[in-house]
Structure 1
Amino acid sequence: MLSLIIPVYNRPDEVEELLHSLAQQQTPPSYEVVIVEDGSTVPCAAVVDRYRDLMSIQYEVVPNGGPSRARNIGVRHATGDWIIILDSDVVLPPDYLYNVSQAIAADGCDAWGGPDAAPSLQDGSFGMWQRAINYAMTSPLTTGGIRGGRKRLTKRFYPRTFNLGCRKALFESLGGFDETM
């Protein structure tokens, strides 16, 4: 089973879009959603309640401690053998979960990740503002890509903390995310 871990802070509208995209999955494998409300003053409980009949959702409310802590809490509550960590602003294509489960079965990898991948600018699914934000967040012509592009002073590898999937046992063996960052 796949466990989708979603930390959220004051983003009920984004969670609505993400859960809607999950409800539209074609031929989904067995999955659960673990939402960790990280001290939000604008909670998404009402949104979560609207989707409870469509999918398995755990909703954990915790004091604000930052996204790394919220992701670690989500993984502790996950029951699946595989975890997928998503940000609340993600909208998944309808074949996402199917493709992930097929790739896991075929390749037997332990972990995977990747950059944000917005729809084509020509397909019309992103509005003008979404396209502008996507460009600013990912283009090497602007900032070098804000997301996942923060520079470190060491040569140690720092994986991105969203759009990441791995075996739950691997995540636990590595000790989770550093909660001081």
Structure 2
Amino acid sequence: MRKYSIIIPLYNRPDEIRELLESLTKQTYTNFEVLVIEDGSKNDAKEIVASFADRLEVRYFFKENSGQGFTRNFGFEHATGDYFIIFDSDCIIPTHYLAAVEKDLNAYGYDLYGGPDAASPDFNQVQKAISYAMTSPFSTGGIRGKKKTLGGKFHPRSFNMGLSRKVYEKVGGFIITRMGEDIEFSIRIIRAGFQSGLIPDAYVYHKRRSTFGQFFKQLHFFGRARINISRFFPEELKLVHWFPALFFLFCCSLVLWLVVQLLTGWPLFTLACWILLLYVGLIFLHATVQTHSIWIGLLSIRAVFTQLTGYGIGFLTEGWRKWFKS
């Protein structure tokens, strides 16, 4: 039986860590430790973590702020397990999670793995709509949680990611602390010859952000991160990553098509609107079927548009800095 070291960076989110630790007390596989590393928080969770000491093998650390990537490195240095697992603090872990990981590691021998995210039945309607956007085939979320990314191997994301001790000993930890640090880390591990895979049953309930404004800011950061990754691995910037930016530019161009239609009579604006309406209809129908809720289906339209515009604007602004200001 492997011993797992669960590493959780934390920054000013004491309420989130309580829910995460509570979910870990219910794991059916129990050979694990938990390391909570406070990354220079002003609102710390020391007392909350201490309240779980009788139910979990848990250790609490406080360090100066250095960002989530380097905070995970701190956790690697202090971990005692055979396998390291990284969670974001806004995750809730199903009871079968570690058992599912142990089963698939025994079957496939992954050195690096990732798991999907899902919407808990307890999530509110906005959170469920956001979760849909992040996993939908009608958004870039559709490439998450697949066996392979388009054009390459599966790159685990740090909200739900595991690696063996031998990976850390050979490759080291994160070399950047923000803006795509997890994808850069995954690519580096795979290029070192280690095997990566998805464990479908090792999903987490990822709360993400609870408002569309917060979600926009998060996706804007993700768009910037994709460009940042290309600074290290230019060939990893693929056509699919341009989709949100192209979608944003398409929406912005509607005014131009309207002017052209008014001046020339060519029905470009009408055609563009029909394309957009078809896309909206597909999102609504699919989300409604997936969530069994018409209201969440409607909210999912806004969530997908927020995702694509946030990511697209972040992608374009960081791309401008890279290609024209560097």
Q: Could you state the TM-score of these two structures normalised by the residue count of structure 1?
A: 0.82
2:82, 2:164 within 8 Å by CA — same for their partners in 1?
yes
Residue 112 of structure 1 is matched in structure 2 by 113
**CA positional deviation for 1:76:** 0.7
Cα RMSD (Å): 2.4
Which has a greater percent of strand?
Answer: 1
1:48, 1:59 within 8 Å by CA — same for their partners in 2?
yes
SS of corresponding position for 1:64: coil
CA distance in 2, matches of 1:33, 1:103: 21
1:141-180 CA-partner distances (Å, limit 9, x unpaired) = 45x34xx8xxxxxx9x975233111102202311211135
Distance 1:50 1:68, change over 3 A: same
CA distance in 1, matches of 2:114, 2:40: 27
AA in 1 matched with 2:86: I
1:5-39 CA-partner distances (Å, limit 9, x unpaired) = 1001011111011001001112x231000111001
Identify the match of residue 6 of structure 2 among 4, 7, 20.
4
Identify the match of residue 18 of structure 2 among 16, 19, 39.
16
SS of corresponding position for 1:51: coil
AA in 1 matched with 2:90: D
Aligned pairs for 1:1-181 within 5 A? 1-26=3-28, 28-119=29-120, 124-139=121-136, 141=138, 144-145=140-141, 160-181=157-178
**CA positional deviation for 1:115:** 3.3
CA distance in 1, matches of 2:160, 2:16: 16
Q: Which runs of 5+ in 2 are unaligned?
A: 145-151, 179-326
1:29, 1:101 within 8 Å by CA — same for their partners in 2?
no
Distance 1:46 1:113, change over 3 A: same
AA in 2 matched with 1:2: Y
Higher RCO (CA-CA < 8 Å; seq separation 6+)? 1
Residue 248 of structure 2 is matched in structure 1 by none
2:119, 2:127 within 8 Å by CA — same for their partners in 1?
no
Which has a greater percent of helix?
Answer: 2
AA in 2 matched with 1:135: Y
2:5, 2:33 within 8 Å by CA — same for their partners in 1?
yes
Q: Which runs of 5+ in 1 are unaligned?
A: 149-154
1:85, 1:161 within 8 Å by CA — same for their partners in 2?
yes
1:34-84 CA-partner distances (Å, limit 9, x unpaired) = 111001111111110111110111111011100001011011110001001
Q: Could you state the TM-score of these two structures normalised by the residue count of structure 2?
A: 0.47
AA in 2 matched with 1:163: N
Worse-superposed segment, 54-63 or 108-117: 108-117
1:9, 1:38 within 8 Å by CA — same for their partners in 2?
yes
